[in-house]
Structure 1
Amino acid sequence: MKFSVFQLSRQGGRATNEDRMGYAYTRDACLFVLADGMGGHPQGEVAAQIAIQTAAVKFQNEARPMLPDVGAFLTSVVMVAHEQILRYAAARGMADAPRTTLAVAVVQDGQVRWVHCGDSRVYLVRNSKLLARTRDHSYRELRDAMGTADAVNRNVLFTCLGSPARPMYDVSNAMTLDSGDRVMLCSDGLWDALDDKAIVRVLSHQRVSQAVPTLVDMALRKAGGNSDNVTAVAMQWETPGIPDATEGEAVDTGIDDTFASTIQTDEFETGDNFLDEEAIERSIAEINETIRRTAARKAQG
């Protein structure tokens, strides 16, 4: 498989950045994941980190090098992540568990499928058109779908991971990717500031290494001092001219024993070290360096 990928998270006007994102891949499968810890509940960053770690651990264990059932994997990620968050809260005697949204996309056999819970979105863009995007599990999206004019708060979700109720989620059908297609996962800090037309326009006319920073900066500027945290990870499928792509952006997974990930996968029960921001950044940097060296060896060979 050949694709380009870029990820970025920027803190807005919030006290902390509770967004988490990352990606992983084997020779024959790719995983992209994003979670947005929810304010109004304790330790949203914990819930988000547990969610993306759950996805990464399950992917590493099950993609050998392909996932046997992508739909079952996506469903399982949501439910296992939810259970892990509840376990974390119960072990610490927390009256209110941490909560998070979750969006997960898998590319395999030239097709993409995704699952989402909450209002972190997945976009699929082709030939300057929005081919598909997730529908938020929010009362505003529900109101719009029903065509009513009732006033609702955009931020109020009717499902998430970590709540007492079993989470609701949607799993997409498989969609075959064409060369140049873009898939982006983003938090509400991005899409709430920018409409779909602006997002599609930027994604369509820039490489993902340029489009993601452009969209993040646009969202932060438009929202101003009240901006939410803004996070996105985007992939461009079978990029034309990929050998000339920006270093660290292009990925060719054609190695038998390939596995790489930008998601730290410490065990949840071993303590809170996995939440340390510096440790997360070091882990991502080390993995990216390994990816770069692997690509360099292939180019020389």
Structure 2
Amino acid sequence: MKFSLYQASRKGGRPYNEDRLAYASSNSTLLLVLADGMGGHAHGEVASQLTVDTVCRLFKDQAQPSLDDPSGFLLEAIYSAHEAVNAYAVEHDLPEPPRTTCVACVVQQGRAVWAHVGDSRLYHFQRDRFRSHTRDHSMVQQLVDRGLINEAEAQQRVERNMLYNAIGGFMLPDIEVSDPVPLHEGDLILLCSDGFWDELTAEEMLAQLQARPLREAIHLLMDTAEGRGGPRCDNLSALALRFGPEPVAG
């Protein structure tokens, strides 16, 4: 199976970066993971780092060389990350646990399965079309789901990034897990934080990712997102996977 990977992260207009991302692999299985520490809570960068570290550590322990149950692994790993964040809060006598979003994907035997908490997204592009992205666990998305507002109206709501679901805190995260999805040559998997996707359309992402090697495409997309975000641009991160050969650099 031939594939390529690229990841990048910027702090945007914020004083520091609370996003964390990583990938890990065995001989037959690949893990991608991204977490975005929630800025409304102290130590968000700790929560995101603990989440990425915990998921990667469990992957390395269990992918020997493949995972028996990728969906079950994702559930276990994210719940373990939640426990690690809360344990950190107790150990350091914090008034409340820090919080983070998370999106993680396992690729094994030509299929991908992913899980997420919060509004960090996974996009799936199939050759020349946008296939799907994960559903945000936000207050505004609940209004869209109920038919009270449409997607265009949701983009204009100032509270669109208010989340009801996170890793860390006194409630267990409600982890949403996908069905396994077959991957074919030319497919793209993109994990990204809200500072990235909030400023870009799926069509813009696909146009760049199709036409250029991942490194070039991700940097161009980040330039666009950061420029649109302006001086108060959020942290922005992306981790992209392409199945099949890279296009020739333009």
Q: Counterpart of 2:13?
A: 13
Q: Counterpart of 2:33?
A: 33
Q: Counterpart of 1:86?
A: 86
Per-residue deviation, 1:152:
6.4
**What is the CA–CA distance in structure 1 between the aligned matches of 2:228 and 2:134, rounded to whole Å?**
23
The 5 A counterparts of 1:125-274 are: 125-149=125-149, 153-239=159-245
| CA displacement, residues 106-160 of structure 1 (integer Å, 9 cap, x when unaligned) | 1000000100000000011012211121010001111112110396611210100
Q: Counterpart of 1:97?
A: 97
Q: 1:156 to 1:65 in 2, by over 3 A?
A: same
Q: Counterpart of 1:108?
A: 108
Would the aligned equivalents of 2:9 and 2:236 in 1 still touch at CA under 8 Å?
yes
SS in 2 for 1:219: helix
One-letter amino acid matched to 1:227: C
TM-score, length-scaled by structure 1: 0.78
Q: Counterpart of 2:57?
A: 57
CA RMSD of aligned residues (A): 1.6
Per-residue deviation, 1:29:
0.2
**What is the CA–CA distance in structure 1 between the aligned matches of 2:2 and 2:25, rounded to whole Å?**
11
Per-residue deviation, 1:17:
0.3
One-letter amino acid matched to 2:203: K
| CA displacement, residues 266-300 of structure 1 (integer Å, 9 cap, x when unaligned) | xxxxxxxxxxxxxxxxxxxxxxxxxxxxxxxxxxx
One-letter amino acid matched to 1:82: H
Which stretch of structure 1 is more off in the superposition, 195-204 or 3-12? 195-204
**What is the CA–CA distance in structure 2 between the aligned matches of 1:154 and 1:5, rounded to whole Å?**
30
SS in 1 for 2:84: helix
One-letter amino acid matched to 2:99: R
Mark the runs of 5 or more structure 1 residues left unpaired by the alignment: 246-301
Q: Counterpart of 1:117?
A: 117
| CA displacement, residues 81-106 of structure 1 (integer Å, 9 cap, x when unaligned) | 00000000011111111110000001
**What is the CA–CA distance in structure 2 between the aligned matches of 1:189 and 1:128, rounded to whole Å?**
25
Larger Rg: 1
**What is the CA–CA distance in structure 1 between the aligned matches of 2:146 and 2:181, rounded to whole Å?**
27
Structure 1 consecutive aligned stretches of length 4 or more whose deviation exceeds 3 Å: 149-152
One-letter amino acid matched to 1:184: L
**What is the CA–CA distance in structure 2 between the aligned matches of 1:180 and 1:239, rounded to whole Å?**
8
One-letter amino acid matched to 1:208: L
Which stretch of structure 1 is more off in the superposition, 153-162 or 191-200? 191-200
Per-residue deviation, 1:21:
0.3
One-letter amino acid matched to 2:23: Y
Would the aligned equivalents of 1:138 and 1:158 in 2 still touch at CA under 8 Å?
yes
**What is the CA–CA distance in structure 2 between the aligned matches of 1:165 and 1:146, rounded to whole Å?**
24
TM-score, length-scaled by structure 2: 0.93
**Number of residue pairs the alignment of both structures matches:** 243
Would the aligned equivalents of 2:127 and 2:188 in 1 still touch at CA under 8 Å?
no
Mark the runs of 5 or more structure 2 residues left unpaired by the alignment: none
Would the aligned equivalents of 2:213 and 2:246 in 1 still touch at CA under 8 Å?
no
Q: 1:111 to 1:209 in 2, by over 3 A?
A: same
One-letter amino acid matched to 1:212: I
**What is the CA–CA distance in structure 2 between the aligned matches of 1:240 and 1:156, rounded to whole Å?**
37
**What is the CA–CA distance in structure 1 between the aligned matches of 2:231 and 2:141, rounded to whole Å?**
25
SS in 2 for 1:14: coil
Would the aligned equivalents of 2:123 and 2:134 in 1 still touch at CA under 8 Å?
yes
Would the aligned equivalents of 1:140 and 1:152 in 2 still touch at CA under 8 Å?
no
